Structure 1
Amino acid sequence: MPLQKTLQPLAVHMPSYGIHILESHHSQGFKMDWLNHSFSKIIFIISGSGTLLTRKKNYRLNKECLVYIPPHMPHKIEDARRDPLCLYALCIDWKIFTSRNSMRQLQAFALIANIPVKALFERPLRQILFEQTSCFEGHELMISSLTQRVMCNIVRYRQSAPNPSTREHSSSRQRVVQVWEDLKRNFYAEQQLDEAAKQAGLSKRHFIQIFKEVTGDTWLNQVRRLRLNYAAHLLKETDRTITAICFECGFHDLSNFYRAFKTHFGQPPVVFRTESREKCKRSEILTNK
């Protein structure tokens, strides 16, 4: 079946659960008038090149570029004359966000261009496409959860992103710094070095070298350190069981957790908890005297 190409933007048929992803292959001569949607859009460029125009600024669009467009932002796309765009557009109705605070966080954003695609969008995009096509039981819930994950990633990226003047031409070091910042928030998950290097767009060898320069230690040691420091925090501040803390911090085996903790802090978790709380009580007594 020949590829369907279009000379104008495709109509968005929003389903009841408020999320729709469409694939648009532009023909040469594609024309788009100014649009102003009530929903937000995430645009991912598959191939081609062009320009995204807004009232304040224009943005170059190239392969694997990702752009977030908030609701009610006037915009239009102009393709390069001999290199028409092929793109995905993830359209998101605000009603899926039940948290008013989440809505305020996202609505506060202007357009965000050139987000690191592999880190934030590529995997969930594939999952959303699969769920929308397959329509398996629970697909609406899965699509909603994946979309909210993407939006959360954008919020966090916005908070820790490089300066806007350098974001479009981020260096290898800046991309590794971004991976490091992501790791600090996701240390409890399965962390594969190969995936981290891919996220940064670097070879494994190059990533290992820069990561050590940035953080002062290896990937494995930093993952372990982040998990153990968080475990120490939970031991001091909560009454969770050692087993629960082991699980929450990303360890799969309790005996391995005990050994790693004792090696790092010089005492087993139970002793660490007891002594930490005794020190806290003594400090409170001295403060109140």
Structure 2
Amino acid sequence: MSVSRPIPVELPPHGVAFVESVHGPRFHMAERIDPFHKIIYVLHGRIACSIKGDATPVHAPAGTVVCVAAGVGHKITDSEPATLLLLCFSRDFVRSVPGLDSLWEKLTPARPAALRPGRTWAQQFETYWRAAVVEQAGVRLGREIVIRAAAENALVALARRPAGLSSDAARRRVETVARELAATFYEPWSLERACAQADLSRRQFSKLFREVTDRSFLAELTERRLTHAAQLLRAQRHSVVGAAFSSGYGDLSHFYRLFRARFGHPPRAWLEKRPDAALPR
């Protein structure tokens, strides 16, 4: 359910809460000061986080993180209606775990910034968040331990993120994915898998992939698979089903539609137009 105002957060005795905030189109937040620390992960949309005493707001699109320390005045404004996953934790929680206080200090410099931890961390955090929400909603033995452990792991993973990601490094990773796709196009590839391997957001990956291959990810995958299927059919050693399966297609009707769009005819008709062609049955 979307909200128009910030949701109230009250920490339990163990000092950690995982919270969701889905903003409606009229979301408004006045400047506030929380008695607890929090990590703001932008799952969808885009926000601007204004920190008291800093004239320049922190702009955070989907996939980025803003860390706000307890006692710091701040205000969130939606640039696009946002869905935020929050990890809120007390000062006592940070002090109770050896080394966690110094780690948190590194994540909250004098001037906050939108951290871009990458898709690998995002997937980890989303997993920790889901697991913690399940525990928060239940009464299972040891749930506080699981919730606190999820918070610790999320903080450590965020602190261990790569120090920086240059555009050259990102492009090299996309080139590596493109080469792997060319060699293993028959595997169950998806854009999500490719983005995760490159550790980039969908937008970053798609932009760089098109620069590298001159095609979108889906267009490149489809071209690789259909070209291979056509080669198998020309060799006259595979049926249509066999060629489709060998090229990575489990849905035969989907394969037929793509093949006809690419070659102008369904597989059998396309092959029969070739001289002395005989399609295996």
Q: Does 1:90 align with 2:87?
A: yes
Q: Choose from 144, 148, 168 the match for 1:144.
A: 148
Do the aligned partners of residues 198 and 147 (structure 1) sit closer, same or farther apart at CA in structure 2, a change above 3 Å counting? farther
SS of residue in 1 equivalent to 2:149: helix
| Distance apart, 1:79 and its partner CA | 1.2
CA distance in 1, matches of 2:22, 2:195: 29
| Bigger share in helix | 1
In the alignment, what sits opposite 2:19?
22
CA distance in 2, matches of 1:16, 1:34: 26
| Distance apart, 1:85 and its partner CA | 1.6
SS of residue in 1 equivalent to 2:5: coil
In the alignment, what sits opposite 1:115?
116
- Check whether the contact 2:170–2:198 (CA below 8 A) recurs between aligned residues: no
CA distance in 2, matches of 1:79, 1:125: 22
In the alignment, what sits opposite 1:287?
none
Spell out, residue by residue over 1:116-152, the C-alpha distance to the aligned partner (whole angstroms, 9 max, x if none): 2532222222222222223422111001011011111
CA distance in 2, matches of 1:194, 1:129: 28
| Distance apart, 1:23 and its partner CA | 1.4
- Check whether the contact 1:162–1:174 (CA below 8 A) recurs between aligned residues: no
- Check whether the contact 1:39–1:70 (CA below 8 A) recurs between aligned residues: yes
Show structure 2 runs of 5+ residues with no match. Answer: 176-192, 210-281
- Check whether the contact 2:39–2:87 (CA below 8 A) recurs between aligned residues: yes
Percent identity among equivalent residues?
21
Q: Which amino acid aligns with 1:114?
A: L
CA distance in 1, matches of 2:195, 2:164: 21
Do the aligned partners of residues 124 and 76 (structure 1) sit closer, same or farther apart at CA in structure 2, a change above 3 Å counting? same
SS of residue in 1 equivalent to 2:6: coil
Q: Choose from 92, 102, 106 the match for 1:104.
A: 102
Spell out, residue by residue over 1:13-39, the C-alpha distance to the aligned partner (whole angstroms, 9 max, x if none): 111111112211222222111122221
In the alignment, what sits opposite 1:131?
135
- Check whether the contact 1:45–1:63 (CA below 8 A) recurs between aligned residues: yes
Q: Which amino acid aligns with 1:139?
A: R
Q: Which amino acid aligns with 2:90?
A: D
Size of the aligned set, in residue pairs, is 179
1:93-242 equivalences in 2 (<5 Å): 93-97=90-94, 98-99=96-97, 101-108=99-106, 109-110=108-109, 111-120=112-121, 121-157=125-161, 160-162=162-164, 171-173=170-172, 197=197, 199-200=199-200
SS of residue in 1 equivalent to 2:34: coil
Q: Which amino acid aligns with 1:107?
A: E
- Check whether the contact 1:49–1:63 (CA below 8 A) recurs between aligned residues: yes
1:254-265 equivalences in 2 (<5 Å): none
- TM-score if structure 1 supplies the norm length? 0.53
Q: Choose from 20, 29, 39 the match for 1:42.
A: 39
| Distance apart, 1:92 and its partner CA | 0.9
SS of residue in 2 equivalent to 1:123: helix
| Distance apart, 1:112 and its partner CA | 4.3
CA distance in 2, matches of 1:194, 1:170: 16
Spell out, residue by residue over 1:152-182, the C-alpha distance to the aligned partner (whole angstroms, 9 max, x if none): 122223xx4117xx69x98344899xxxxxx
- Check whether the contact 1:45–1:65 (CA below 8 A) recurs between aligned residues: yes
| Distance apart, 1:63 and its partner CA | 2.2
CA distance in 2, matches of 1:128, 1:175: 33
In the alignment, what sits opposite 1:32?
29
- Check whether the contact 1:172–1:200 (CA below 8 A) recurs between aligned residues: no
- Check whether the contact 1:45–1:87 (CA below 8 A) recurs between aligned residues: yes
CA distance in 2, matches of 1:135, 1:117: 33
CA distance in 1, matches of 2:171, 2:130: 26
- Check whether the contact 2:174–2:198 (CA below 8 A) recurs between aligned residues: no
CA distance in 1, matches of 2:117, 2:174: 8
In the alignment, what sits opposite 1:61?
60
Bigger Rg, structure 1 or 2: 2
| Distance apart, 1:6 and its partner CA | 1.7
CA distance in 1, matches of 2:149, 2:114: 23
SS of residue in 2 equivalent to 1:22: strand
Over the residues paired in the alignment, what is the CA RMSD in angstroms?
3.3
Q: Which amino acid aligns with 1:197?
A: Q
